[in-house]
């Protein structure tokens, strides 16, 4: 097989999202994929039309830039198989594994150092992702180009990657719970499930856009809270229920899982 530009090792939810976005932008012919799940591998072959490899080593040997998109608890064997393929080459390995540091990766790969550490988040599935790159290592332009197909790329010091993982990658789960709770509340007061969910999600999306446009959350909240009005009554009930503290404790629980 001729050398291709990109290889993906693992193409589950997150790896598959990046792969699909990137192939739409750059063409499936530039990609080779190894996915150990046979059913998923067959589906990718028919949906994405990339080259399919028979092993991690086969995929890595066939490409210049390798995206390693396996779960961190399952990385030992793939890294062991990749080490001899990468050693002494000018290939680039891109890891999206949460909590696995550059130092750990270099050690497992017998000193191979051309590694980029990235932390994506689930909104990448809809092209609204935040793709954090550890700026302790240079991110090649071709890697950035792939990541940008899924959303915004930001650069942060590696020692903050675990905090960013919680803030951007774990937190969508908290947000989904909030939307679900808001939808339940809407149904409780008479809205249809579809309308209640749409209204909650739209409110969240619009509010987030205002913050991203430079608005300060506290000031925006205050602007909605008329004296003695319905909004401030709801805000007071959230405060009475420990809303802020619950969010902060959830963040810390997720963050502590990395230590």
Q: What is the pTM of this model?
A: 0.86
User: Please, which residues have CB within 8 angstroms of residue 39's CB and are 6 or more apart in sequence?
Assistant: none
Mean pLDDT of 164-175: 95
Domain positions in the chain are 4-156, 165-256
Q: Is the pLDDT of residue 208 over 80?
A: yes
Strands (E), 17-125: 31-34, 51-52, 63-68, 92-95, 115-119
Q: What is the pLDDT of residue 20?
A: 87
| pLDDT > 70 fraction of the chain, expressed in percent and rounded | 98
Question: Which CATH code of 3.40.140.80, 3.40.50.880, 3.40.50.720, 3.10.20.30 fits the domain covering 4-156?
Answer: 3.40.50.720
What is the fold of 165-256? ProC C-terminal domain-like fold (1.10.3730)
Q: What is the mean pLDDT of the chain?
A: 92
Backbone angle region of 113, left / alpha / beta, with phi > 0 → left and psi within -120 to 50 → alpha: alpha
Name the band, by pLDDT with cuts 50, 70 and 90, for residue 86. Answer: very high
């Amino acid at each position: 097989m001729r050398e291709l530009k990109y290889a993906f090792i693992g193409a589950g939810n997150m790896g598959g999202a990046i792969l699909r976005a990137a192939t739409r932008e750059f063409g499936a012919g530039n990609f080779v994929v190894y996915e150990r799940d046979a059913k998923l591998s067959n589906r990718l072959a028919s949906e994405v039309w990339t080259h399919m490899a028979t092993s991690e080593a086969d995929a890595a040997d066939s490409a210049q830039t390798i995206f390693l998109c396996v779960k961190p608890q399952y990385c030992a064997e793939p890294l062991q198989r990749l080490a001899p393929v990468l050693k002494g080459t000018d290939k680039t390995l891109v890891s999206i594994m949460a909590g696995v540091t550059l130092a750990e990766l270099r050690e497992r790969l017998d000193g191979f150092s051309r590694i980029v550490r990235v932390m994506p988040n689930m909104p990448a599935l809809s092209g609204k992702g935040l793709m954090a790159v550890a700026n302790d290592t240079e991110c090649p332009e071709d890697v950035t180009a792939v990541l940008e197909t899924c959303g915004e790329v930001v650069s942060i010091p590696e020692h903050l990657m675990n905090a960013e993982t919680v803030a951007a990658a774990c937190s969508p789960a908290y947000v989904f719970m909030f939307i679900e709770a808001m939808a339940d509340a809407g149904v409780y007061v008479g809205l249809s499930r579809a309308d209640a969910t749409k209204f909650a999600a739209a409110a969240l999306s619009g509010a987030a856009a205002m913050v991203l446009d430079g608005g300060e959350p506290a000031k925006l909240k205050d602007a909605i809270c008329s004296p003695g009005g319905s909004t401030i009554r709801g805000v007071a009930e959230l405060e009475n229920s420990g809303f802020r503290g619950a969010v902060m404790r959830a963040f810390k629980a997720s963050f502590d899982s990395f230590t």
